[in-house]
Structure 1
Amino acid sequence: MNVQVEVISKEIIKPSSPTPNPLRHYKLSFLDQLTPSSYTSLVFFYEFDGETQPAINEVSKHLKKSLAKVLTLFYPLAGRVKIDDHFVDCNDEGIAYLEAQVTNCRLCDFLNNPLPDELNKFIPFAQDEHIANEIALGVQLNMFEGGFAIGLCTSHKLADFLCMLMFTKTWAAIARDEVEIQRPQFVSATLFPPKGITGYNWGAGIAAKKVTKRFVFDASTIEDLRAKYTGLQNNEKQPSPVEALSAFMWRRFVGATKDDHADENKLHSLIHSVDLRPLIDPPLSPYSFGNIYGNSLTAPFLSSGDDDDGDQESSYGMVRRVREAISKIDKDFVKRLQHGDEQLSLIGRLAPSASKGEVVTSYHSSLCQFPLYDNDFGWGRPIWVSLPPLPVKDIIVFLDTKEPGGVEAYVSLAKEVMTKFESDTFLRRRVGTGRVGSASSCLIHQPVRFNQVVTFHTRNRASVIKKPTRTKLMKLGSGSICSVCF
């Protein structure tokens, strides 16, 4: 489906309170410096229940008011990024806020078969757009018939995905008038001081020519894979859901990159992004702001090698390799990283072989076990949380489904590789339906626009518009593997 989204209005939202002068100069950390100059994004979809519905202009007014309040806490996001000078001018110039109307489909129709590339229409900036305008945050409210979607873009120079979730969770809590609000902690530049870096390509890895597709695995499929890999060796610890899926998908990727005359000397490596907050001594709060991650490198191996006991579907050898690599991201790794040598050394080892095509490096990261579905702005929790395509190829990002135990995998590959990847026999028999949501949003028959106040009549009685409700939500958590960087 070619979704048509019409932007109705654009404005700038500024913090409700000015940022104190001593906080005007926000330094980027060493890890921020190494992060690509692009945007990371999420889209939260909310379904109306078919009986009551707020007027969309009231939804927008409520979101903007709470957004101005949360920006006083996350004040660097309301400033302007000075990439070349490695700091943010926290001048309260504000963030971009767009209102848009989906003109040709209902929410339930879109959720029947959501295509990742269509998600880019629900966010305010192109993710591969260089931040020439220096704006650190953008929000787009999209109105469907049957619900709405909130799309966010955050400068990856300032924040990883965990920070984005931290921001949305705090924003939602303020929108619900919660009393206890967790405040962000700006400690990254202290822990990882900026360094003078020369000869580093800020746009490395950015790729426009790629295809992104979404693959869904239900809980029973994942448990079957975990059991399969555990049974290959006695006394072996069962892999986590992400470890099992990561190895399974990597095996499929390696197979898809082979041409008809496979190069026996082609090497493959895998990078996982790992959250460092729980590994720092003492552990950091999940509300620590910045790019606080480390990259684990699964050592290159020959694509023709088979360490899986002849089972073409099995990926036990890859599970073992991934686990060993991630286990090396520990407190000692963090100490080396704080001196700056560890990350630069990794880049130095990968760059020459990657540029020559000798090593095919893929990237896996995960938002599993993070509270994606806890973002209730007062009208209920999201029916679906999605990831617009990242501006890189050879990357897989894992997200929890709303149903317990399931996982969505967003895969970005070159077109010719994707054709082989998605036709893999073992992948096809394990992938489930891509539909999300329910049919309740189809009860609404007329498009709802920003200037229209709507009430719904059930059982011959007009339903009143509900006010935002308070809800008690889970704390922000973290996992061993997280999508903090690509």
Structure 2
Amino acid sequence: MVVSHVEVISREMVKPSSPTPHHLRNLKLSFLDQIAPPVYIPLIFFYKPELGNNIVRAQKSQSLKQSLSDTLTRFYPLAGRIKDDIFIDCNDAGVEYVEAQAHAQLSHVVENPNVEELKQYLPIGPFGTSAAMGEEALLAIQINSFDCGGLAIGLCISHTIADVSSLVTFTNAWAATARGAIENVINPSFELAFHFPPRDLLGFMPTTGITKEKIVTKRFVFDKMKLATLKESASSTIGSRVKDPTRVEAVSALIWSHLINVAKSKLSPKKIFVATHAVNLRSRMSPPLPDHALGNICRFTHALSMSEGHGTEFGDLLNKLSSAIRKIDSDYVKDLQIGDGCLDYLKVMIEIFSKREVEFCNFSSWWRFPVYEVDYGWGKPVWVGTTNFPFKNVTILMGTSCGEGIEAWINLLEDDMILLERDHKLLSLDAGKINA
């Protein structure tokens, strides 16, 4: 049951503190932006009450608004609007800024989070209206003040213009501005269209992938010790050729293997299991792009497994997934920059997706993004989360507050989640705590 305890106090538009120069008014979307799903990306930062600090809510709000306005002068496209699906009109229309009162104790929300209820801390429904199709703001922010003095800052950014890395870059710049650490604020790069020029999409239209079926989200927490055990098991398991898998590879392959078991237990006609995994392209380009390069600088790789015979065991799946991720290299990026093969590939994948014998498991890793460095002047967040995604078989991997663990936010059909929660082997790895 979802309990509503957030009261919206005000809504307004916050604009850059200095007008965007005329020669910067039109920013082309890159090819990677053109094919991004037309949804918003949600992130929520939770801050505990400050001991011995008497800063009132009004002062915090004024500081946040002013620093946001100042930050937008550097990140000026975020205050613009998309025009004709091909460029951003950097017209300083502003970002949506919402203030709300959360009639609850932050500790209760953080220690026992109800994933469905976390939507209350977001300024908009991230998977409803798309900023790619009209005059909606490209960035929306909600400041939630708890009765105990804690704060939750919810952000939604249009996926048409940014990936998660871009959102975290902006948020850290805003926080540094708010606490007066101007020397830590970088000047972002908006040159993605130079590297990936926009193209005629030849009739291809990006879709949200939203399902009308009921999706349930469960958060599994793998702490440092569990991850070490999992990596050791991955290296020594029969069939594994990956001797030192990353934590993300090991967790993704583990979850993929359990989701395959769920599909098999239903006696469905699935014959092929495909794992898609988002890969950050910044460090894989030649020369590499800096972390503060903004846009959709990521692509999905695909690993395939057949349900008949062998090949769906943990070690085999890890081999396939790790190999697929490592294929995303500088040569892959060059092909992506100069060829139209990506569009043809996307069309083929959509056709495959529509067939009943294929089961997709989708992974996106937000681990290692510096979300726990976002300090507005009253300390680092005690927890950073997201919300449930209305997509079938989607897993978001996030870091824990100590930096050593991984939170896996798994989104499944309700019946599939019931089956997964009976998997005692997977449940035995779940630490269940945010500070794992």
* Correspondence 1:244 to 2:250: yes
Instruction: Mark the runs of 5 or more structure 1 residues left unpaired by the alignment.
Output: 309-313, 438-486
The aligned residue for residue 19 of structure 1 is: 20
The aligned residue for residue 445 of structure 1 is: none
Q: Kindly provide the amino acid, as one letter, of the partner of residue 242 in structure 1.
A: V
- Structure-2 separation of matches of 1:118 and 1:208: 19
TM-score using structure 2 length = 0.94
- Structure-2 separation of matches of 1:304 and 1:400: 35
SS in 1 for 2:396: strand
Closer, same or farther in 2 for the Cα pair 1:373/1:260, shift >3 Å?
Answer: closer
* Correspondence 1:178 to 2:181: yes
Aligned residues: 428
Higher relative contact order (CA 8 A, sep 6+): 1
Deviation at 1:428, TM superposition (A): 1.3
Deviates more, 1:384-393 or 1:364-373: 384-393
Q: Kindly provide the amino acid, as one letter, of the partner of residue 248 in structure 1.
A: L
- Structure-1 separation of matches of 2:393 and 2:404: 25
- Structure-2 separation of matches of 1:55 and 1:340: 55
* Correspondence 1:255 to 2:258: no
Deviation at 1:201, TM superposition (A): 3.3
- Aligned pairs for 1:291-302 (under 5 A) are 291-299=296-304, 301-302=305-306
> Residues 185 and 288 of structure 1 are in contact (CA less than 8 Å); yes or no, is this contact kept in structure 2?
yes
Deviation at 1:426, TM superposition (A): 1.1
Instruction: Mark the runs of 5 or more structure 2 residues left unpaired by the alignment.
Output: none
* Correspondence 1:134 to 2:121: no
Q: 1:263-298 CA distances to partner (integer Å, 9 max, x unpaired)?
A: 3x5211011111111121111111111101122111
The aligned residue for residue 154 of structure 2 is: 151
> Residues 216 and 406 of structure 1 are in contact (CA less than 8 Å); yes or no, is this contact kept in structure 2?
yes
- Structure-1 separation of matches of 2:411 and 2:66: 36
Deviation at 1:240, TM superposition (A): 1.0
> Residues 122 and 141 of structure 2 are in contact (CA less than 8 Å); yes or no, is this contact kept in structure 1?
yes
- Structure-1 separation of matches of 2:364 and 2:347: 21
SS in 2 for 1:257: helix
The aligned residue for residue 82 of structure 2 is: 81
Deviation at 1:329, TM superposition (A): 0.4
SS in 2 for 1:258: helix
- Aligned pairs for 1:105-116 (under 5 A) are 105-116=104-115
- Structure-1 separation of matches of 2:363 and 2:241: 27
- Structure-2 separation of matches of 1:117 and 1:337: 37
- Structure-1 separation of matches of 2:169 and 2:315: 35
Deviation at 1:390, TM superposition (A): 3.0
Q: 1:152-183 CA distances to partner (integer Å, 9 max, x unpaired)?
A: 00000000000000000111111121232211
Deviation at 1:208, TM superposition (A): 4.4
The aligned residue for residue 286 of structure 1 is: 291
> Residues 144 and 153 of structure 2 are in contact (CA less than 8 Å); yes or no, is this contact kept in structure 1?
yes
Q: 1:28-56 CA distances to partner (integer Å, 9 max, x unpaired)?
A: 11010000111001000000144334201
Report the identity percentage. Answer: 38
Closer, same or farther in 2 for the Cα pair 1:236/1:99, shift >3 Å?
Answer: closer
> Residues 214 and 434 of structure 1 are in contact (CA less than 8 Å); yes or no, is this contact kept in structure 2?
no
- Aligned pairs for 1:300-315 (under 5 A) are 301-307=305-311, 315=314
Larger Rg: 1
The aligned residue for residue 62 of structure 2 is: 61
* Correspondence 1:405 to 2:400: no
The aligned residue for residue 349 of structure 2 is: 350
The aligned residue for residue 98 of structure 1 is: 98
* Correspondence 1:332 to 2:337: no
TM-score using structure 1 length = 0.84
- Structure-1 separation of matches of 2:118 and 2:314: 32
Closer, same or farther in 2 for the Cα pair 1:408/1:94, shift >3 Å?
Answer: same
- Structure-1 separation of matches of 2:241 and 2:408: 29
Q: 1:373-399 CA distances to partner (integer Å, 9 max, x unpaired)?
A: 000000000000101223422110111
Deviation at 1:123, TM superposition (A): 0.7
- Structure-2 separation of matches of 1:347 and 1:199: 12
The aligned residue for residue 165 of structure 2 is: 162
Deviation at 1:423, TM superposition (A): 1.8
> Residues 113 and 435 of structure 1 are in contact (CA less than 8 Å); yes or no, is this contact kept in structure 2?
no
The aligned residue for residue 221 of structure 2 is: 216
> Residues 38 and 157 of structure 1 are in contact (CA less than 8 Å); yes or no, is this contact kept in structure 2?
yes
Q: Kindly provide the amino acid, as one letter, of the partner of residue 97 in structure 2.
A: Y
Closer, same or farther in 2 for the Cα pair 1:7/1:342, shift >3 Å?
Answer: same
Deviates more, 1:410-419 or 1:164-173: 410-419
> Residues 395 and 412 of structure 1 are in contact (CA less than 8 Å); yes or no, is this contact kept in structure 2?
yes
Deviation at 1:136, TM superposition (A): 0.2
The aligned residue for residue 5 of structure 2 is: 4
Q: Whose helix fraction is larger, Structure 1's or Structure 2's?
A: 2
* Correspondence 1:195 to 2:194: no
- Structure-1 separation of matches of 2:54 and 2:109: 19
